[in-house]
Amino acid sequence: MLRPVTERTCRGWCSTLALRQSFSTSNHVVLNMYRPKVQDTKARNSSKPRKVNLSSKLRSEFAKYKGKVKPIILCKRMEFNFYEGMKYGKFEKIPLASQGWLNRGSNGDFFSLYEGYMSPNDAHFGHVRLPSSISDILSSPDDKSSVSGFSLLKIEEDLVQKLNKMNITRPADIQIAAMPHILAGKNCVVSAHTGCGKTLAYLLPLLQMVSKNVQKEGGVGVPHDSPKLLIVTPSRELAYQIHDVIQKLVVGLPLTSKLFVGGYSDQGSDDLPQIVDIVVGSLGTIKKKIAKGNINLQRIQHIVMDEADQLVDDQNRGQIRGILKKVSIKQVSDDGSDSEHDDQGTQLILVSATIPTNLEDLFDNMVDVGSLERITTSYIHDVMRNTPQLFLKVGKIHKGKTLIDLIEKDVKHNNPVLIFSNTVKTADWVSYQLNDCGYPCKNLTSSVDTQIRQHLFERFQQKKFNILSTTPIVARGLDTVRVKHIINFDFPLYVSEYIHQIGRVGRIGSSGSCHITNIIAHPREVALVQKIEKSIRLNEKLTAVNANIPGIVRHRREKLEGVEM
């Protein structure tokens, strides 16, 4: 049970032993500790807490490897340090700093991951071979040639100019890989790490294709309430963000769009405009609008499922099946020669940062999985390589104290922070306690009204406040480049949740140094920590990336019930 924190206890924490975290200008992690008692009078009377650097033995390790070998994992117990170039034998037991974290005596232990701690694979993309003309974009540092890079991807000049106004002058890796296949009308699975530009990877080609088809129709005989492009999301917040990007891109184009999310319609009515070309919305609301006849799918040519892994889990699969049964999913064109002018069939695009290994089982004959072109970057399912991470093992009763210590430093440096909790109740508690301690924090959870949540996120983006407390479900897909520090107050239990949560920092457009702090307090959290640490030491991808969390929970419950019987 979480205990309330008073202002008095907050002041008392300053005199207790607590791990502190700071990141130097070189993005290297420096771990410090407060001492509970200081004998020196000058130090005791100083308003600035006295800090103790790493032990002399660890400093000697730095000196030993300085300029020679890059540290990858640094641990409180130095015998577990791991440096670039170190390898383990085939039958050698992998030493883990987190190996003993199931024991209560491990409280206070920690290890940190340095920026760039995994070596990239040689190939840029996992399942895609690129034409040499497009591959040349990757090696071109010139902004002028970068602008022409979108032209090489067959994106028309009016869209390229809008990208320039958004300060987007160079196509990202996943955009280079995905756009040719989407323009060819193929069914695609677009998978890449969070914050790398997946939204534009599908929006640019689809908006271009829809625009050409709308101009071809000329508005003659077009049925009402019948979009050509449908984008489905698991959350309202993600739908808002995608619709905002669309509105910026369709300026000057003959396209109309509509947003549908629970509790809100962008025109205050259930009725679509007389003619609508693009519909974006959350899954539950889209399903209801289709059932009521507010959305007619007879004209649909493209369906996008953003955060597809969550949309096809056990909880949502029934609603997705209901939508897909109303359309004929197939490639618009087999050869891709004239796909932009072929109105036959519906193109399906699945987008996510994590693609389940059991994709075929999740679709359950809804779609011919063999028709899906898989487009991934080589970094898919890797532990995020561009952001330092700290893993702290603490006692359950010390979680609140640790959080306050971390937030205190972020407030001092004016760092925007995103705090993850596994439940709405805990996220609300975190917000309440931080505000009670004098640190302004807003909670972005399902307990907050939809429009208020949207307003809060906009205020966060506008720098009105710097601390957000939220849950993985609500925050999934949130696109913000403001966040400098992610705190996993409750460490996730599943690989897919971990990948999505840490992906809220280090995104395209982010400036300055970012970092992640993971607080480990429960035995059930240790298994994933050990899996992450082992993957770093072996330079391997994370395995068992299964986003069907409801199915996992149900399977475990059935297994336990079988044991009890």
CATH number at residue 155: 3.40.50.300
Q: Please tell me the least confidently modeled range out of 63-72, 89-98, 265-274.
A: 265-274
Decide which of 357, 376, 395 is a domain's last residue.
Answer: 376
pLDDT bucket at 494, cuts 50 / 70 / 90:
confident
**Three-class SS state of 48:** coil
- Provide the pLDDT for residue 118: 45
User: Is there a domain that residue 128 lies in?
Assistant: no
Structure tokens at 562: 């079988």
191 within 8 A of 375, measured Cβ to Cβ: yes
167 with 191, same domain: the answer is yes
How far, in Å, CA of 534 to CA of 282, rounded?
37
- Provide the pLDDT for residue 21: 36
Instruction: State the distance between the two ends of the chain, measured CA to CA, in whole angstroms.
Output: 30
- Provide the pLDDT for residue 147: 43
Tell me how many domains the chain contains: 2
371 with 393, same domain: the answer is no
pLDDT in tens, 146-198: 445 788 888 998 999 898 888 887 888 889 999 999 999 999 989 877 777 88
User: Is there a domain that residue 313 lies in?
Assistant: yes
Higher pLDDT, 224 or 407: 407
Decide which of 351, 376, 401 is a domain's last residue.
Answer: 376
81 with 211, same domain: the answer is no
114 with 153, same domain: the answer is no
**DSSP letters along 306-322, please?**
ETHHHHTSTTTHHHHHH
406 with 355, same domain: the answer is no
pLDDT at 264 over 70: no
- Provide the pLDDT for residue 25: 34
Mean pLDDT of 211-234: 86
User: Is there a domain that residue 7 lies in?
Assistant: no
- Provide the pLDDT for residue 14: 37
455 with 361, same domain: the answer is no
User: Is there a domain that residue 310 lies in?
Assistant: yes
- Provide the pLDDT for residue 280: 95
User: Is there a domain that residue 137 lies in?
Assistant: no
524 with 418, same domain: the answer is yes
80 with 195, same domain: the answer is no
User: Is there a domain that residue 198 lies in?
Assistant: yes
463 with 557, same domain: the answer is yes
C-alpha to C-alpha distances, 256 to 246, 259, 277, 280, 293, nearest whole angstrom: 10, 11, 5, 11, 19
404 with 356, same domain: the answer is no
Higher pLDDT, 21 or 130: 130
User: Is there a domain that residue 37 lies in?
Assistant: no
489 within 8 A of 430, measured Cβ to Cβ: yes
pLDDT at 55 over 60: no
List of E strands, 100-147: 110-113
User: Is there a domain that residue 258 lies in?
Assistant: yes
Q: Please tell me the least confidently modeled range out of 98-112, 492-506, 545-559.
A: 545-559
- Provide the pLDDT for residue 355: 73
466 with 558, same domain: the answer is yes
pLDDT bucket at 508, cuts 50 / 70 / 90:
low
In the chain, the percentage of residues whose pLDDT exceeds 90 is 32
315 with 391, same domain: the answer is no
Amino acid at 92: E
How far, in Å, CA of 386 to CA of 96, rounded?
22
pLDDT in tens, 461-485: 898 999 999 988 766 657 677 888 9
Query: Residue 485: which domain range?
Result: 57-121+386-562
pTM of structure: 0.73
pLDDT in tens, 385-434: 668 889 999 999 999 999 999 999 999 999 999 999 999 999 999 999 99
